Each structure stands twice: as structure tokens, then as C-alpha cells.
């Protein structure tokens, strides 16, 4: 064994950034490069729904369907993180390896979350292409990107939080698929909230993805909402995102009780 050169290991913010980039590269980018087939699986459900809406509702329904697909893809990516994090914890014992290191739960979650984005990046590229094709890109589009970021952070934090409480690996996919359906298929994500009878809309408002949909539809001029409604949706979206991040940071089982 030869003597080794002195290495300065980064601390603080630089270390955190390296941690996040490392996990996103090794859990996402590299896996996609080596197994590109995994991309197809991640994109199937949202585009199937868009196709179904196109067949049933015609071209007029396509813009709302594409917005639904955007939310569905990002929320699915976040919740698939939950399934993957469960597997990493139970089957690979990788979470334990990370717990006994400077890596924090939030860095782990963001690293894996960015990795999951890699799997859906081609789908998102197609979605952006569809936005352009359907003439949906306007000056509000940067705000739409910010809303997309909220969707990803919110779902990733929820997915990670849930993963730390799932006791069996085989339950992980079932639970995250169920939550994905509850968040993206049942609430008004692929359709307008105006389709729901007014006396039942309060139920839809309890679901964060409803607000994602309202905001994107409004930003792109597909649906008119009152200013009060827009403000309420922003406030609810921010509150949900902060709430799930706090859950993931302080209530997730990083170190086992």
C-alpha cells in the first residue's frame, strides 16, 4: 500500500451540491445511458391518457390533456422516487449506507429526485414540443416552468416521505401507483375543474395537483379563473410544497427509531 496524496474533501454547500449531483448521476443519468429502455416505461401512462382524450374529445381537448400529462409525468417521477427509495432502503440497504455518512435526507431526496427526472426528460421534451405545436407557449411560460418545479419537488418530497414508512418492498410499487392515481387521474388534472359540480369542488381543492392544473391552464390562457382563485391556488401549492418538504426533512425515517 503506497502513501496517498492529501485530498481536501469539500464541506458546506459545495459538498451538498456534489452529493446531489453524484446521486442524480449514478441513480439516473448513468442508468438511462446504460438501459435506455427504462425511459419508455416511465412515459407510457401520461401519453396513453392524452391519446385517449384526443380520441374521445378531439383536437380541442388536446391542450388540457397535454397539461395533464405534464403534471402526471412530474408527479409520477416524484412518486416513483418513493418506490425506488423503498427498494434502495429495504433491498439494497443503501439508505443505511448513506445515513452513516454526511449525506442528509434532503440531499438524498434531491439527488434521487433529479435522477428520476432523467427517466422522464425525453417525455418532457415531447411535451414541450407539443406545447409549441399547439401554440401554447406564451410570455407566461417561465411561470409554467416554475409550477412544474413545484410539482416535481412536492411529489418527490411526498414520495420519499412515504418510502421511509413502507415496510415491504413489494408494497412500494402498489402504494406509489395508488397515490399517483389519486393525485393525477381522479382530480381535475386531465380535465377542467368546471366539470365538477360546484358543491363537490371543495374535495378537488384539497388535492395539490388540482392547483397545479388550475395555474398552468390559467397561465396558458386555456381557462379563465378569478384573481382570488389564482391567488388561492398559488398559496395552496406553496403551502403543500413546504408541508411535504418539512415532512421529508423532519418526519421521514432517515435514522430508524
Partner 1 sequence: MKGILLEASDIAIESVGLSKTYGKSATPALSDVSVTIPRSKIFTLLGKNGAGKTTFLRIAATQLKPTSGKITVLGFDAVTEAGRVRERIAAVPQEMRPFQALTPYDHVMMSLTSRGWSWKDAKPKARRTLEELGLGSYEDKSTDDLSGGLRQRTLVAMALATDVDLLFLDEPTIGLDPIARREVWKFIVELKHRGKTIFLTTHYLDEAEAISDRIAIISKGRLLKVGSVQELKSSIAENVRVDVSSGFSEEELKRYGKVSRIGEILRVLTDEKNANDLVSLSIGRHATVNVSPISLDDVFVDLLGVEEEEKPSW
Question: Which residues would be at the binding site for partner 1 (CB under 8 A)?
Answer: 1-2, 4, 7-11, 14-15, 18-19, 21-23, 26-27, 30-31, 34-35, 91-94, 96-103, 111, 255-257
Closest approach, Cβ 257 to partner 1, in A, equals 6
Going by the DSSP 8-state scheme, the letter that residue 189 receives in this structure is: T
| Distance from C-alpha of 120 to C-alpha of 8, rounded to nearest angstrom | 35
**Cα angle 126, 127, 128; round to 5:** 90
Query: Residue 11 or 60: which CB sits closer to partner 1?
Result: 11
Q: How far is the CB of 161 from partner 1 (least distance, A)?
A: 18
Smallest separation (angstroms) from partner 1 to the CB of 149: 23
Q: Which residue has the cell 406509489?
A: 176
Q: Helix (H, G, I), strand (E, B), or coil: what is residue 198?
A: helix
Nearer to partner 1, 198 or 257 (CB): 257
Judged by beta carbon, residue 103 or residue 120, the one nearer partner 1 is 103
User: In terms of CB distance, is 10 or 178 closer to partner 1?
Assistant: 10
Complex with partner 1: residue 84 or 144, whichever CB lies closer: 84
- Please state the closest distance from residue 75 (CB atom) to partner 1, in A: 25
Sign of the Cα pseudo-torsion (158, 230, 70, 142, in order): negative
- Look up residue 108 and give its three cell numbers: 438524498
- Report the alpha-carbon distance of residue 180 to residue 173 in Å, rounded: 10
- Smallest distance from partner 1 to CB 159, Å: 19
How many other CB atoms are found less than 10 A from the CB of residue 228? Answer: 8
What is the closest distance, in whole angstroms, from the C-beta atom of residue 103 to partner 1 in the complex?
A: 6
State which residue, 65 or 111, has the beta carbon closest to partner 1. 111
DSSP 8-state secondary structure symbol assigned to residue 91: T
DSSP 102: S
Amino acid at each position: 500500500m503506497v502513501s496517498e496524496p492529501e485530498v481536501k474533501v469539500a464541506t458546506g454547500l459545495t459538498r451538498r451540491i456534489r452529493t446531489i449531483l453524484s446521486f442524480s448521476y449514478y441513480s439516473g443519468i448513468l442508468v438511462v445511458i446504460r438501459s435506455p429502455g427504462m425511459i419508455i416505461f416511465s412515459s407510457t401512462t401520461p401519453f396513453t391518457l392524452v391519446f385517449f382524450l384526443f380520441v374521445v374529445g378531439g383536437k380541442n381537448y388536446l391542450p388540457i390533456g397535454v397539461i395533464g400529462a405534464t403534471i402526471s409525468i412530474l408527479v409520477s417521477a416524484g412518486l416513483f422516487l418513493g418506490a425506488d427509495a423503498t427498494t434502495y432502503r429495504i433491498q439494497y440497504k443503501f439508505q443505511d449506507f448513506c445515513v452513516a455518512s454526511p449525506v442528509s435526507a434532503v440531499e438524498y431526496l434531491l439527488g434521487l429526485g433529479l435522477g428520476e427526472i432523467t427517466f422522464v426528460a425525453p417525455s418532457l421534451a415531447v411535451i414541450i414540443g407539443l406545447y409549441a405545436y399547439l401554440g401554447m407557449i406564451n410570455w407566461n411560460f417561465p411561470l409554467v416552468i416554475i409550477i412544474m418545479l413545484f410539482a416535481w419537488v412536492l411529489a418527490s418530497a411526498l414520495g420519499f416521505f412515504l418510502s421511509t414508512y413502507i415496510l415491504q418492498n413489494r408494497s412500494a410499487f402498489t402504494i406509489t401507483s395508488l397515490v399517483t392515481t389519486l393525485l393525477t387521474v381522479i382530480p381535475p388534472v386531465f380535465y377542467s375543474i368546471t366539470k365538477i359540480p360546484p358543491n363537490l369542488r371543495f374535495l378537488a381543492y384539497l388535492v395539490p395537483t388540482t392547483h397545479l392544473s388550475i395555474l398552468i391552464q390559467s397561465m396558458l390562457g386555456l381557462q379563465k379563473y378569478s384573481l382570488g382563485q389564482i391567488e388561492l391556488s398559488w398559496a395552496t401549492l406553496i403551502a403543500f410544497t413546504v408541508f411535504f418538504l418539512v415532512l421529508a426533512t423532519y418526519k421521514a425515517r432517515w435514522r430508524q427509531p
